[in-house]
Amino acid sequence: MTRNLPARRRNERAWSSGTSRRALSAAAMAVVSAVIGACAHGHSHRDGAQQEYIVHLTNDLAPPSDVTVYAIGQDGTRRLLGDVPPNKDRALRIPNNLFPGTSFRIVAQRTAGRSVVSQPITATSGGGIIDWDLQTNAVWFPEPAQ
């Protein structure tokens, strides 16, 4: 003996499974939106983190030499900033995860020869521009134009 299910029951099952899928999709979208919103909020307001530093470096070494530039934190962490060819100048960005009050140095490692190491620089909450002349190993902090 075979049983025929009423048409209404099939529609209820279809409606029930479709509703479940929609509810599950809506819940998943809510979770994804919450995670994305939390990530965006967490990265945009990093308590205590400073603004970014830009190092304007003039490679005027004699004899001319390529240099690879690093920022070295007081904990010894070395961050690659970039390369500067001889007789060129470049603007290099220091990652903005330095905290106010911590110090760091900038190091220009020659392809052949000794490295040039800057004086210690204390990070501030404002970040800014650092001008560095390798020949004289002079570091200065120009005031931003207003």
Task: Convert the pLDDT of each residue in 42-65 to its tens digit.
Answer: 433 344 444 788 999 999 998 999
pTM: 0.62
Ordered by start, the domain boundaries in the chain are 1-45, 53-140
* CATH dotted code for 53-140: 2.60.40
pLDDT tens digits, 63-85: 999 999 999 988 898 999 999 99
The contacts of residue 53 (CB under 8 Å, 6+ apart) are 93, 94, 96, 98, 123, 127, 128, 129, 130
